[in-house]
Amino acid sequence: DTSLTEVNSFSPSVPISPSSMINQYKFEDGPELRDLFITVDDPESHITAIETFITYRVVTKTTRGEFDSSEYEVRRRYQDFLWLKNKLEEAHPTLIIPPLPEKFIMKGMVERFSDEFIETRRKALHKFLNRIADHPTLTFNEDFKIFLTAQAWELSSHKKQGPSLLSRMGQTVRAVASSVRGAVKNRPEMFTEMNNYMETFSQKINLLDKIAHRIYKEEREYFNEMKEYGPIHTLWSASEEDIAESLKGIASCIDHCCRATEKRMAGLSEHLLPILHEYILYSEILMGVLKRRDQIQGELDSKVDALANKRTEKDLFSEEIGKLEDKVERANNALKADWDRWKQNMQWDMRSTFTNVAENNLHYYEE
């Protein structure tokens, strides 16, 4: 985190081009600072009488003392990742848990169980685990360690120890928690600003996502037309001796443009669309975290009001209020630290993503 802050103050001798900024960030964030490396790869299909599903190999290498071994290899399916996310939200309700891809991602663009879908999901799951590994608190969560190290039967046994808090809450309680936001009286200004920021961010990122999908759709239509248009000139050249060479030249040129467009589309679908979608999910997660913080604050406010209106049991109420004040303070501190970290990561992701798009566009038009 410190390295990211220091990069903002470039010395005059360092060129501040987008590419140099990206290189500077990558250089500062050296791998030698990390002690936990996770890879998600090798997707494998499983067909049973009841369902068809994919498992992924999760390889973990670590130098941490709390692990019994330096290397682990396990296989996990999507439901296992979902279980881990729920357990993290349960244990750390006011921390920003990285998003998981939904059950069906990029609907309409790829078919479920197609190679493209599986690869898109694999990358998202890989990023999910590595974001947790890089988080100063989440990385030491016991359920995360079990997820990385336990064999399938051990994980299954651990899951059966009890349903997660979130699954027990049910829709009604979640709806109540969502409604608390408007009722909180003593919310610090900082969290009102966060809420306003996220509302604006959510609108903008959704708009960017719509525009990016529209651009991708237009590119795909253009690409499909060119694929038909090139061969027509080749066929035409066979019946026009005088201009045959020119027609072949145009056909070759269209073919070249076709390949360049395909490369450009790949850049959009692999780099831009997934990042924008990830931050749409992040905006939903952050709004949920802010609501949970407000829920704790609302609980404290209601106890303070009850104490003011009640003459008996003051000692009991005072003790409860003390505990709730500590809980609110811990929630505030956790969210503040995570907020700064998330904003830094988000700005870096956006900068590198749009720089990448710009460079791809330059290469495309040069070609």
Asked if pLDDT for residue 191 goes beyond 50, the answer is yes
Burial of 329 per CB tally in 10 Å (0-12, 13-18, 19+): exposed
Q: What pLDDT score does 183 carry? A: 55
Q: Is the pLDDT of residue 42 over 60?
A: yes
- DSSP state at residue 60: E
Mean pLDDT of 97-123: 73
Contacts of 231 (CB under 8 A, 6+ apart): 251
pLDDT score for 311: 55
Between 103 and 36, where is the model more confident?
Answer: 36
Among 4-18, 117-131, 191-205, 314-328, the minimum mean pLDDT is found in 4-18
DSSP state for residue 39 in the 8-state scheme? E
Cβ-Cβ contacts under 8 Å for 297 (sequence gap 6 or more) = 184, 186, 187, 328, 331
| Mean model confidence pLDDT for the chain | 82
Q: Over the stretch 205-223, which tens digit does the pLDDT of each residue have?
A: 999 999 999 999 999 999 9
pLDDT at 31 over 70: no
CA distance 322 to 328: 10
In this structure, is the dihedral angle defined by the CA atoms of residues 120, 81, 353 and 201, taken in order, positive or negative? positive
| Tokens encoding 121 | 């999901």
Alpha-carbon distance values, 56 to 44, 79, 119, 121 (Å) = 6, 11, 11, 10
Minimal CA–CA distance to 39: which of 63, 66, 72, 68? Answer: 72
Give backbone dihedrals phi and psi of 59, rounded to 5 degrees, phi first: -105, 125
**pLDDT of 7 over the 80 cut:** no
For residue 169, pLDDT over 50 is answered with no
Contact (CB, 8 A) for 84 and 143: yes
Q: What is the reported pLDDT for 152?
A: 87
Q: What is the structure's pLDDT at 159?
A: 86
Rounded to an integer, the average pLDDT of 6-18 is: 40
Q: Which run of H or of E encompasses 142?
A: helix 142-149
Domains by residue range for the chain, with CATH: 34-154 (3.30.1520.10), 186-229+260-366 (1.20.1270)
**Top-confidence range, 100-104, 105-109, 208-212:** 208-212
Spatial separation of the C-alpha atoms in residues 36 and 24, rounded to whole Å: 23
The contacts of residue 166 (CB under 8 Å, 6+ apart) are 86, 89, 90
**330 Cβ partners below 8 Å, 6+ apart?**
94
Q: Which of 138, 156, 130 is nearest to 88 (CA)?
A: 138
Residue 47 pLDDT class (50, 70, 90 cuts): confident
User: Does the pLDDT at position 313 exceed 70?
Assistant: no
* Residue 1: both structure tokens together: 């985190």
Angle between helices 115-134 and 273-309 (to 10 degrees): 50
Query: What is the pLDDT averaged over residues 108-128?
Result: 79
Least confident span in 79-88, 137-146, 311-320:
311-320
Confidence of residue 314 (pLDDT cuts 50, 70, 90): low
Is residue 44 within 8 Å of residue 54, measured between CB atoms? yes
Spell out where 232-339 has E strands: none
